[in-house]
Structure 1
Amino acid sequence: MNLLESHRDHAEQTDDHSIRRWDGATSVFVSAAPRLFAIGLRVLHDADEAEDVVQETWLRWARADRSIVVSPPAFLALTATRLAINVTQSARRRRETSAGPWLPETTDPSVSPETAAARREAVDTAIRLLSERLTPAERAVYLLRMAFDYPYRRISEILHLGEDHARQLVRRARDHLATERRHQVSTTAHRRLVRTFLAAAQTGDLAELEELLAADVTR
C-alpha cells in the first residue's frame, strides 16, 4: 500500500524509538486491514469505496494519539465503520437530510470543550435517526454489528435472537434507513442510549450498552 510505504520513509528520518513505534503501528494496521476492508465492503457494497475507507482509516490511525488507544483493533474498526457510514450518508444527502457523522473518534483528553460538544451532537443526531427509522431490534442489531463489529453469534446471544434473524434485521435496517419514516422517540430513552453508546465507544466496555439494547428488544 503506497500510504504505508510513504510513512515508512518518514519513519526512517526519526530516532530509533520513533521507528519502533511506527513499525508497531504499521504492524497493527496491516493485521487489521482485511477486517477493515470487510467492514467497508459490508456497509458500502463497493470494493473501490471500501478500499478508500481502508486508506482513510490508515491516515486517521497515523494521526491519532495511539498512547491513549485502549484497543487498537476496536479503534480501527470503529473508525472504518464511521467513515463507511459517512460515505453512505454523503450519497443520501442528495435526496434527504443527512444525519452527519455518527461514530465518535477515540477519546482525546486534549480536545476542546467545543470539539467534544460537537462530537456528542453528531452522535446524538445519528442515534435519533436510527431510533426514528428502525425498530428496537433493528437498531440493536445494527449498532452492535455495524458500530462494534460484533459477530452474529454473539449478537444472537445478547439479544436472544437466531443468527439468521439477526442477519435479516441488519438487512432491514439498511433498507429502513433509506426511507423517510419516523417513529416517535422518547427523550429520556434517547438520552440514555446516547450516553451509554458514547461511554462504550470511548472506554471499550460494552456491557451496559449490551444490557440496554437487549432490554429495548424485549420490551
Structure 2
Amino acid sequence: MNMLEPGRDDATGSRPPSGELDAATSVFATSRPRLYGIALRVLEDVGEAEDVVQEAWLRWRRADRSVVISPPAFLATTTTRLALNVAQSARRRRETCAGPWLPETVDHDPGPETAAERHEEADLAIRLLLERLTPAERASYLLRKAFDYPYRRISEVLGLGTDHTRQLVRRAHARLSTDRRRPVEAAAHRRLVGAFLAAARTGDLAGLESVLAADLTHRPPRH
C-alpha cells in the first residue's frame, strides 16, 4: 500500500509554508506509531488501520494547528473517530441495512463546512457507543482505545478495579459488533460529543474524564 508521505502535496494541490509543514510533519511522525496502534485496536485490520492513519495525516495537515493545545490528543481523537466510522460503515455494508452512514470523504477546504463535518462524525461515532455500551464499558473503551490510558489510570478515573476495566474493554469491543440498541438520551449525547470534541481541539482530557466518570454515577459533570 502506498501511503502518502508527510510533506507531499495531497489531493488539494496546496502546500502550507515549508517551516510550518516541517513542524507539522515532525509532530505527526512522532505520533504515528501510537495512531496506528489506536486504529489497529479498533479495526483489527492492518490495511484499514493504515488508511485511517493516512486520513488522520490529511486532517492534521489541513487543520488550524495554531489553536491546537495538545497535538497528540488532537491526533488521537481524530484517529479514533475515523476508525469508529470505518468500523460502523463496514458493519452496515455487511448488513445491507437501510439508512446512510457518513462517507469517509476528504474535505479540501478548511472552514465552517469542515467543522460541521467533524462534528457530525463525532456525533455518529459517540451515538454508536451510547447505543451499544453501558456507561462503564463506554468510558473504559474510549479512554483505552482513543487515548492509550493505562488500565490503572482508567481504574483511578472511574473508581473501578484494574481487572474490571480490562474486562469492560474486552466486553465493549465484542458488543460494538452486535445489533444491540439502547435508547440514547439527547442531553447525554450532546454532553459526551462536546467533551470529546473539546479534548480533540484543546487537549484538555480532564473535561472528558469528568463526563465519563459522571455517567457512571448519574451525577452532573464537575466544572
Normalised by the shorter chain, which TM-score bucket?
A: 0.7 to 0.9
SS at match of 1:3: coil
Do the aligned partners of residues 83 and 154 (structure 1) sit closer, same or farther apart at CA in structure 2, a change above 3 Å counting? same
Please give the residue correspondences for 1:87-98 in structure 2 after superposition, counting only pairs within 5 Å: 87-94=86-93, 95=95, 96=97
Higher RCO by CA contacts (8 Å cutoff, separation 6 or greater):
2
SS at match of 1:183: coil
Per-residue deviation, residues 166-219 of structure 1 (Å, max 9, x unmatched): 122112112212222222333333333333333333332222321222122245
Confirm or deny that 1:155 pairs with 2:154. Answer: yes
- Distance in 2 separating the partners of 1:197 and 1:35: 19
The residue number in structure 2 matching 1:11 is none
Do the aligned partners of residues 161 and 98 (structure 1) sit closer, same or farther apart at CA in structure 2, a change above 3 Å counting? farther
Unaligned residue ranges in structure 2 (runs of 5+): 10-14, 219-223
AA partner of residue 37 (structure 1): Y
The TM-score with structure 2 as length reference comes to 0.76
* Percent of aligned pairs with the same amino acid: 64
- Structure with more of its chain in helix, by fraction: 1
Per-residue deviation, residues 68-98 of structure 1 (Å, max 9, x unmatched): 2221111221222222222212211211567
Shift of 1:59: 2.2
Please give the residue correspondences for 1:96-115 in structure 2 after superposition, counting only pairs within 5 Å: 96=97, 100=102, 111-112=111-112
- Distance in 2 separating the partners of 1:28 and 1:132: 35
AA partner of residue 92 (structure 1): R
SS at match of 2:5: helix
Confirm or deny that 1:180 pairs with 2:179. Answer: yes
AA partner of residue 3 (structure 1): L
Which structure's CA Rg is the greater one? 1
Shift of 1:35: 0.8
Please give the residue correspondences for 1:12-27 in structure 2 after superposition, counting only pairs within 5 Å: 18-27=17-26
The residue number in structure 2 matching 1:42 is 41
For these two proteins, the number of residue pairs brought into alignment is: 206
Please give the residue correspondences for 1:63-82 in structure 2 after superposition, counting only pairs within 5 Å: 63-82=62-81
Q: Residues 134 and 173 of structure 1 are in contact (CA less than 8 Å); yes or no, is this contact kept in structure 2?
A: yes
Do the aligned partners of residues 5 and 75 (structure 1) sit closer, same or farther apart at CA in structure 2, a change above 3 Å counting? closer
Confirm or deny that 1:4 pairs with 2:5. Answer: yes
